[in-house]
Amino acid sequence: MTSSLKLMNPNELSEAEQQAEIQILIERYERAKSRRENWSNHWQDCYDYTLPQRGQSNQFGGAGASRVNNLYDGTALDAVDQLAASLLGNLTPTWTQWFGLVPGPELSEEEASNIAQVLEKIARKIQTHLDHSNFSVEMHQCFLDLAVGGTSTLYFEETQVGSMSAFKFSAVPLSEVMLEEGDNGFLDGSFRTILLTLSQLNKRYPNAEIPYDVLRQGEQDPQLRFEVLESILPRNGTYELKAVLLSETLPVILQTGSFVQNPAISFRWTKSPGEIYGRSPVMKALPDIKTANKVVELILKNASIAVTGIWQADDDGVLNPANIELVPGAIIPKAVGSQGLKALDMPGRFDVSELILSDLRQRIRHALLTDKLGPVDGARMSATEVVERSTEITMLLGATYGRLQSELLTP
């Protein structure tokens, strides 16, 4: 992972000690997994209505599958994209230095003046590595997860020597990560299950001793994937990494190590007391999102009925409704003296939908912070009104930005 990783040889432990450590780790992983079970259905609802293309692809459906068959209103989808883009542009703007390094308060004025230029040079170099890495792409995915699921995790790893950037980032979907909250109130512990081919195992864990049965299966089928449990947990002031291959025969430790700082950065939109995972603005707007989606579905069904109509005919043994096509210019035969085919009068119209749909869409956009400046009352807003409205939305977002500053930007 990162250059601060200190590798340790798992083979220094006996097989019995390895299995005992693996058993303790798996039990802790299962407890973390059970604590997030209640969130799975809630997350699935949020993703189905606002971010179906990302969803819980590894858990609830195959990658590339269509997930928009039951969506009829795109207000929430568009608002989530705008919110994620706004967070990216305001917190971590692309190709812009959004952080700086300054001398600490313990230095004297002379020492601070001497080191300031060095720190500025270091900050520019770090920013250059960020700009040439996949940071913006993965950070945008994290902000999408944050807006929809309320919790997001970014893995910070190192690249191969000679790459354009020394950094590599990975946005981990909520379906793959289980989190633990530390005594300090931050999300310090994480478990991640990943599926890797044999070549990926060798590349990610170059010094690991892979069991013979895994080697044989991987050589027979190069696309066969094996489940690996990676844990990063705080221990004695550092963060301990363990990668365990969950093979069918016996779990094996592939790699262990320690970090000075946690490479798995987890952050939340807002937090309720007693809960580990965060709550998102989509969760607050989900009732309106579902209602708007249903209203548009009913409008479309009503429009379909209005276009084609509902018809009735006498069963006289001559007219066959299965052979009738309601197209312009069609001639429908009927028996002499019979009523044939006639339109059925509708009992009413669904005009009430227009009265509530605009209100629902406005509340969705407001909950997802799309209308930051609010509705324009007059023909145009003055500069003073823009400043006042901007100040108001800054106050409303103060708590959220404060949490993101503590849980994301500072780490």
Domain range annotation of the chain: 6-276, 284-401
User: Which residue stretches of 227-351 are H helix?
Assistant: 281-308
- So what's the pLDDT on residue 328? 63
Residue 15 vs residue 81, higher pLDDT: 81
Nearest Cα neighbor of 30 from 141, 155, 178 is 178
Q: What is the pLDDT of residues 23-63, one digit of tens each?
A: 999 999 999 999 999 899 999 999 999 998 775 444 444 55
Asked if 260 contacts 242 with a C-beta cutoff of 8 angstroms, the reply is no
Flag whether pLDDT at 173 surpasses 70. yes
Flag whether pLDDT at 6 surpasses 60. no
Sequence-separated (6 or more) residues with CB below 8 Å from residue 348: none
How many Å apart are CA 217 and CA 12, to the nearest integer? 27
- So what's the pLDDT on residue 267? 95
What's at 273, amino acid-wise? P
- So what's the pLDDT on residue 2? 47
CA angle 401, 54, 366 (to 5 degrees): 45
Q: What is the pLDDT of residues 187-210, one digit of tens each?
A: 999 999 999 999 999 998 988 888
What is the arithmetic mean of pLDDT over 286-302? 91
Flag whether pLDDT at 5 surpasses 80. no
Nearest Cα neighbor of 95 from 63, 131, 141 is 131
How many Å apart are CA 192 and CA 178, to the nearest integer? 6
- C-alpha distances in angstroms, 411 versus 240, 259, 325, 397, 403? 17, 13, 66, 20, 12
- Give the mean pLDDT of the chain: 84
- So what's the pLDDT on residue 339? 67
- So what's the pLDDT on residue 61? 44
Q: What is the pLDDT of residues 394-407, one digit of tens each?
A: 677 777 888 888 99
Sequence-separated (6 or more) residues with CB below 8 Å from residue 14: none
What is the arithmetic mean of pLDDT over 70-85? 92
- So what's the pLDDT on residue 18? 81
pLDDT band at 349 (very low <50, low <70, confident <90, very high): low
Would you put residue 329 in left (φ > 0), alpha (ψ -120 to 50) or beta?
left
Asked if 110 contacts 138 with a C-beta cutoff of 8 angstroms, the reply is no
Burial 274-289 (b: 16+ CB within 10 A, else e): eebbbbbbbbbbbebb
